[in-house]
Amino acid sequence: MACTQFSSAFPHVPAAPSRKVVRMNLEEIDMVLSVIRNKSFSLAAQELSYSQPTISKHIDSLEKELRIKLFNRKTRAQIELTPEGEQLVPFFEEVQQATRRLTSKSAAIRESNDLLLRFSCPHGLSTLGEDEIVLRFAAAHPSIKVEQFAETNMRILQMLKDRQIDAGFIARVDDTEYSDLILKTWRKIDVQEFRLKIAIPKKHRLANREGLTLSDFKNDCFLFRTYRDDMRADPKVMRFVEACRAEGFEPNIKFTEGRGSLLLGLIASGKYVAPLMYRPRTTRHDIEVKQFSKDYYHFKLQLLYDMENDSAALRMFVDFVKKLDMPLG
């Protein structure tokens, strides 16, 4: 049987030309871009702390590797890019920028493997909203360990001064409060403002009323917690007294140094009402938090930190807090 010879049904496809793998190091790219900026090998050598022969040698090597002449060397003092070199400049810049981003990101990853952020916030009947801030920060930076302490404003300032914490949230009626205790190297960020509110027992005569004013409580006993020796010198108390006097009465104020759970119990007993700076930290069936119909004054939630603290975790936390957009509480 005769054998039939089949010719290939496919046309001849020439082999792809081999491509030379270009080998260059990042130092050579820095050298090229420096020569371009300075228009001089000697000035580039000064900028990069190399000798001029070293710069020339590396650029010669790179030109051979690329098989492209990058510079026309008219004289020692006169250097200009070739047309081919000009076409490659954007690629050199892109590689340099990508390398810097890679280096920066790698450093951040290494640092974040063992980062610790220590901060404190006031404890008490109400919350500054710092729990929400910390949760959002932790979600954005899961590799950072966070240690949170609940302390008084005075204690927070002392812990910050002693470098026991990296940052502290404090509550202030204005920037003059505690100003004598704040160091010159400290910086503050205004995080949020809050309206004055009031916590009353559920069985209070005004529990079901809306549109309340301070004067509606002129016969009640107001409970404050303060840690100052001269309790009536507390700026928060003074501001409250001023607001009551503007409403035509002198408030009956009692002070306690008890923690939040004790305050809640005293309010629930029916003997006291308590002005609140912020939203309640906890909810109870026997306590009602009421809004005033008037906006008497605001309290500030501020973050304090020492600018001389070089903690990477602190820098990340400060940047995070600066970007927050917290509504009036």
172 and 103 fall within a common domain: no
How would residue 4 be classed by pLDDT, with cut points 50, 70 and 90? very low
Q: Which of 211-220, 230-239, 314-323 has the lowest mean pLDDT?
A: 230-239
Higher pLDDT among residues 14 and 175, named by residue: 175
Length of the chain in terms of residues written: 329
Tell me the CA distances in angstroms from 63 to 4, 39, 59, 82, 107, one per residue in order: 56, 17, 6, 12, 32
Q: Is residue 9 part of a domain?
A: no
Residue 213 or residue 185, greater confidence: 213
Residue 287: per-residue pLDDT: 87
pLDDT at 298: 83
Q: Which one is predicted more confidently, 189 or 110?
A: 189
**pLDDT higher than 80, residue 15:** no
Q: Is residue 13 part of a domain?
A: no
* pLDDT score of 220 more than 90: yes
Question: 262 in helix, strand or coil?
Answer: helix
Q: Is the predicted pLDDT of residue 121 greater than 80, yes or no?
A: no
Q: Which residues have CB under 8 Å from 273's CB, separation 6+?
A: 198, 199, 200, 201, 204, 217, 220, 221, 222, 223, 267
Residue-wise pLDDT tens digits, 164-202: 888 888 877 777 777 777 788 888 888 888 888 899 999
| Least confident piece of the model among 50-64, 117-131, 312-326 | 117-131
**Quick one: pLDDT at residue 169?**
86
Domain-located, residue 6: no
Q: What is the mean pLDDT of residues 139-150?
A: 84
Indicate if 180 and 308 belong to the same structural domain. yes
* More confident site: 63 or 151: 63
Q: How far apart are CA 198 and CA 104, in angstroms?
A: 49
Q: What is the pLDDT of residue 11?
A: 43
* Phi, psi dihedrals of residue 262, rounded to the nearest 5°: -70, -40
pLDDT at 97: 85
Beta bridge partners of 114: none
Residues 130 and 257 in one domain: no
**Cα atoms in the Cβ-side hemisphere of radius 13 Å centred on 281:** 17
The Cα-based distances of 1 to 4, 7, 122 in angstroms read 9, 19, 101
Based on the fold, state whether residues 154 and 84 are members of the same structural domain: no
Q: Are residues 226 and 99 in the same domain?
A: no
Q: Which domain holds residue 178?
A: 116-193+300-322
